[in-house]
Amino acid sequence: MVPAAAREELERLLGARNYLDRAEDLVLYEYDGGVDKHRPEMVVFPRSTEDVVAIVKITGKHGVPIVGRGAGTGLSGGAIPRAGGITVSFSRMNQILEIDLANERAVVQPGVVNLDITLAVQGDKYFYAPDPSSQRACTIGGNVSENAGGPHTLAYGVTTNHVLGLELVLMDGTVVNTGGMAQDVPGYDLTGLFTGSEGTMAFVTKVIVRLMRQPESVKTLLAIYDAASDCGQTVAEITARAITPVAVEMLDGVMLRMVEEATHAGFPMDAEAVLLIELEGLIEQVEEQVEQIRDVCAACNAREFRVAKSAEERDLLWKGRKNAFGAVGRVSPFYYVQDGVVPRTQIAPTLEFIRGVSAKYGLSISNIFHAGDGNLHPIILFDARKPGDTDRAKAAGDEILNFCISVGGSITGEHGVGMEKMELMGNLFSSDSLDMIQGFKNLFDPECRLNPGKVLPTGRGCMEIRQRPDFVL
């Protein structure tokens, strides 16, 4: 419960235009891109680091839980106010503060949209590499919190590989800076610690990111298969031949048909699977790798191999890939996106297991994923209006993630743990490891006010970890 005194102080601080507390407004902040919901009691919109400091101090004085929120595109419940309280939306802290092309750096506020960084520098032939499928909407603060990835992580890495420094507001209102504009700074890697901490330890109010030069040549390839297992074998064979594309994306037959009907990108409607492969680099190097990959695909029974003939054709193929979730929405009123990781050699067996899960629960499951780094996104179609359908979708997702663990993988590659996968953490980490994670949480948020009920498991039994004695799920 947010006390009246806290509301009054926040209203005086921010003004009438920078907070919401009516039910019809708050309902828009009770969900993200996942399947769970919980409504905040108030939403506030800071415009500066000083506003964030004041919000933290006011809520601290009154013991109110607070949760940070970017664009709400997350897929694990990370921005859902599970304990009620106040949502701090960073959508109005959306300025690019500095661009330093000579040193390939930019300084941005957390509400800056991912793609806007690239749009700001592409005229000078630079770009920002991390490119989640939601890059037209997702914000840098959310990307830092979840350590977001994207199709091009195979060569460029994830968000943590492109964040050089952070400005943070701690739970006592202290403002600290980690990292900096330099390539490396002495001391502990605190920037790395907070990147991927899912908004559970501090608020990010400023981010220093790395910019990269556009490559000399880009080629986008499409390999078409009549068997998904051949697709998986191709990925392993590309790696075995020491070829490193910047992206290797796989769509199974169910997914590519939905995508093609929605975007008309040129995917074959009768294929069992396709690989979307992108190469970047020097012209001669890229041309050589095209032929190497053509040979690999032929050896792995690809029925057709295409090279995009123009930038427009390449953009259309990627439009199909990045609009995939929207394409699913045309077919099913609800869907549940998972985020498991497996070794590349386990892609084919994992796809076979997913087919079994689909049959077991009677739910259609399509697959689209970053095959190059083994990050799978099974999309489970269900109808929340049918009794038991949501529970069956969640149970199917848990089975898939536990299988990923069993073959040497993980429960998340880029979407985060949030409240969606927290009870699976005990299957992935030992009790001692979870105690260490809890120790960091307690150090930075001893009262457990910041995004409570996330990441750490709270179920009963030998793996029980209580984040706060009086916290009720």
pLDDT tens digits, 379-403: 999 999 999 999 999 999 999 999 9
Query: In the chain, where are the structural domains located?
Result: 4-89, 96-213, 217-326, 332-422, 431-473
Query: Which sign does the torsion angle of CA 332, 337, 343, 344 carry?
Result: positive
Please tell me the class of the 96-213 domain: alpha beta
What percentage of residues in the chain have a pLDDT greater than 70? 97
Per-residue pLDDT averaged across 12-18, rounded? 97
Q: DSSP for 216-229?
A: SEEEEEEEEES-HH
Q: What number of other Cβ atoms are within 10 A of residue 65's Cβ?
A: 24
Which residue, chain included where needed, has tokens 């921010």? 14
CATH 3.30.43.10 fits 4-89, yes or no: yes
pLDDT at residue 459 in the model: 54
The CATH number that domain 217-326 falls under is 3.30.70.2190
pLDDT at residue 472 in the model: 47
Decide if 217-326 and 332-422 have a common fold. Answer: yes
Q: What number of other Cβ atoms are within 10 A of residue 132's Cβ?
A: 25
For 150-172, write each residue's pLDDT tens digit.
999 999 999 999 999 999 999 99
Nearest to 353 by CA among 368, 365, 339: 365
- Write out the two tokens for 310: 């123009």
Checking if the pLDDT of 473 tops 70, the result is: no
pLDDT at residue 334 in the model: 92
Candidates 1.10.3720.10, 3.30.70.2740, 3.40.50.300, 3.20.10.10; CATH matching 332-422: 3.30.70.2740
- Tell me the β-bridge partners of 224: 274, 304
pLDDT at residue 467 in the model: 47
Higher local confidence (pLDDT), 328 or 278 = 278
For 277-307, write each residue's pLDDT tens digit.
999 999 999 999 999 999 999 999 999 999 9
438 three-state secondary structure = helix
pLDDT at residue 183 in the model: 83
Cα 3 from Cα 72, distance rounded (Å): 26
pLDDT at residue 286 in the model: 96
Query: Among the listed ranges 50-59, 172-181, 261-270, 288-297, which one has the minimum average pLDDT value?
Result: 261-270
Cα 2 from Cα 306, distance rounded (Å): 58
Cα 92 from Cα 88, distance rounded (Å): 11
Bridging pattern class, strands 273-281 and 378-382:
unpaired
Per-residue pLDDT averaged across 242-256, rounded? 93
Question: Which pLDDT band, with edges at 50, 70 and 90, does 198 fall under?
Answer: very high
- DSSP character at residue 330: T
Instruction: Give residues with Cβ within 8 angstroms of 279, minimum separation 6.
Output: 217, 218, 219, 220, 221, 245, 246, 286, 289, 290, 293
Query: Which sign does the torsion angle of CA 122, 126, 128, 133 carry?
Result: positive
pLDDT at residue 330 in the model: 85
pLDDT at residue 401 in the model: 97
Cα 236 from Cα 372, distance rounded (Å): 8
